A and B are shown apart, each in its own frame.
Chain A
């Protein structure tokens, strides 16, 4: 027991150090977002700024597109995308875990192959935009790239292979359960840890994504997700800065953008919902895992 205690102390020390490393720059980020822009340019980033200001947030929430609306799009997108993605990923991963399945090796390889090779941006775009015509629709945010990837499928597959005793499923099958029932009633409950994990990966992927919006939304500004909106603002500012001297007549707009603090504020606006929501997800995550843990 003394040894257990020593380990606990050691663990807490290590984790405290790592957590501090993660959290200090984030606190700096938060403070910078509330620092006066001119002070930031003059003095650099500081934990104890000379002058505070909320102008960056004012700018984000008043300019052009509605941030609240973009939050709404992001939330719907993340929920729908995660549910759909989880469903098809888990089903495929489960199927690939079946050793008796004819052609399993070939299919696994085909899945793995997509991890290394892809057609590239232009052919992918032509496929989605010309063949499926999903440009400027919600589908364009949902479908391309994010729903399922080989990595997740293979993780699920290996979890089913290694952590769920085949005997259990075989027994159910012999007892007369269909494959579908065996999957839903036995395999799924046992797979809660990996489902929670993959769900989180997919969810983070959807929440953080801005590329799909960049590529496929040229007219529908009302479909901008929060990350897409923020990234557009950040990159527009950056482009403007870099070209203000090369493109003459650059612009008066530059004069009013709180260029440095606004970037920090945008990062905060993008991460904040996750900071708020994550503990709840995590609660369920841990609960799911403890319920699902293989006992005996």
Chain B
């Protein structure tokens, strides 16, 4: 059965490859939102601003790994050159450290300081909604009039992912929306050493992922463990194990999930499911075999860092186009990617890090026009993703771009590495190392992944927040023990179940189900 499934997947993938040759034409007939006019109102608004000579400033906030780099104002000025000319607006960039982004955003949104557009990553889309930070993007036909490029970029279903109670509060980011479940990454040098002929396992020579089954993986782990007794055989980040291994849909959180998301809208308790038991039982067995480090429960280093240091042989990852290159870079050695589950797109695919507008914004029209331009103008997209040509990057000669002369990741004045957070990285230039058709492949892959029926549903848990805090504390207590195989699932799961139940799991799921049903009815989903 599993083999059959994986064969099916391979076939799917092959199909997408064929599609990708024909370009991006697939999405033409998909449902779109209606536009208010032919774009004349937007053009007029822009012209009026240019004529008046008074350019409003739109402040754009986002999260970065290294905070505000020195080139920020320079790049913002370069962007303003474009936005002034096209829509009569200046932009200001406000990148903030990942460590403080959530706190800074919360404080700024609460105090009424000027932030017009911001990415909701880390702050959280629903928390923002609950505190009333978000502007209704369809108020007075704002999107339909001034965001027509956004309407062309996303289908109405994709945009629907950012609706709460029918109101549109955000615009998704163009990124990998689906993820390949239960991917495992292993450096090829280790595979070669234990005599696994991984090269012959690709279904197609141009594939980057090997679809396989647990028999093979466990056999491989056993060999790895024997060959490298001093290295840890396998590690999985506890924070993402369940979400990246199991092909189920978890609207907003793990308490109440869709176990059969492509067919049914019935929420169940994940922790009493066979799926969860099997996962824990498997890891428990792996742990007993000595494949998981006794220190795994307190591990604080990223998986790829461990591989790079030579202390780890294999780890779990979520797959997507470009994954082999990405993980090889991170590990500092070529890896092979195996995948044991399907490609799947869950209900939260479009609202994990949407762009949103501050309810307090002075000029919603200008802000919407800037956002619209960020989704549609390749020069602007390249600037916000990669910085300025000649300063941060230069042409590499084959269609890619690369670091400018004398610049590297450490010394660059605008190398934020957060393109996944930018409105539309699909239209920006492509960096050396990634294939030029990466975004076409990504688009096709997104379009062809299994999709949850609850796609676009968001759960508002503000009425059951007390239960939520209790459930989270219980789950936190058991999560790493169970999902890294330190606790026998036959004993651990019932214990956790009992505590979750008394923390109000059933009430919580019932509330979620009620909202899901209402949502399904409103959207005409059976």
Contact = CB atoms under 8 A, between A and B. Distances in A.
A contacts B: CB pair < 8 Å: yes
B99 A235 contact: yes
A249 B175 contact: yes
A42 B410 CA distance: 25
A245 interface: yes
A8 interface: no
Nearest to B323: A248
Nearest to B301: A41
Contacts of A62: 410-411
A129 B97 contact: no
Contacts of A74: none
Given A38-B308, A246-B239, A240 B96 contact: no
Given A240-B65, A241-B300, A255-B329, A248 B318 contact: yes
Interface in A93-122: 121-122
Interface string B160-204: 000000000000000110010000000000000000000000000
A63 interface: yes
A245 B239 contact: yes
A238 interface: yes
Interface stretch (B100-108, B262-270, B394-402): B100-108
A251 interface: yes
A37 interface: yes
B343 interface: no
A246 B98 contact: no
A126 B110 contact: yes
Q: Is the interface of A mostly helix, strand, loop or mixed?
A: helix
Given A38-B309, A248-B318, A241 B301 contact: yes
A130 B65 contact: no
A290 interface: no
Contacts of A235: 97-100
B287 interface: no
A249 B303 CA distance: 14
Given A221-B68, A253-B65, A245 B240 contact: yes
B58 to A, nearest CB: 16
B113 interface: yes
A41 B300 CA distance: 10
Interface residue tally of chain B, by bracket? 35 or more
B300 A253 contact: no
B301 A260 contact: yes
A249 B326 contact: yes
B309 A42 contact: yes
A234 B175 CA distance: 28
B332 A255 contact: yes
Contacts of A129: 107, 111, 113
Interface centre among A63, A232, A260 (most CB of B within 10 A): A232
Contacts of A247: 121, 420
Contact of A215 (B103, B244, B305): B103
A140 to B, nearest CB: 12
A76 interface: no
Contacts of B316: 245
A24 interface: no
A218 interface: yes
Nearest to A125: B107
Contacts of A214: 99-100, 103-104
A249 B70 CA distance: 23
Contacts of A232: 67, 97, 99-100
A38 B310 contact: yes
Interface in A215-256: 215, 218-219, 221, 231-232, 235-236, 238-256
Interface of A: 37-42, 62-64, 121-122, 125-126, 129-130, 135, 214-215, 218-219, 221, 231-232, 235-236, 238-256, 259-260
21 contacts: A64-B66, A122-B111, A130-B111, A214-B103, A214-B104, A218-B94, A218-B108, A235-B98, A236-B97, A236-B98, A236-B99, A241-B300, A244-B302, A245-B237, A248-B175, A248-B176, A249-B175, A249-B419, A253-B66, A253-B415, A254-B302
Closest 10 CB pairs of A and B: A235-B99, A41-B309, A38-B309, A249-B420, A251-B417, A239-B98, A245-B237, A241-B302, A42-B311, A244-B302
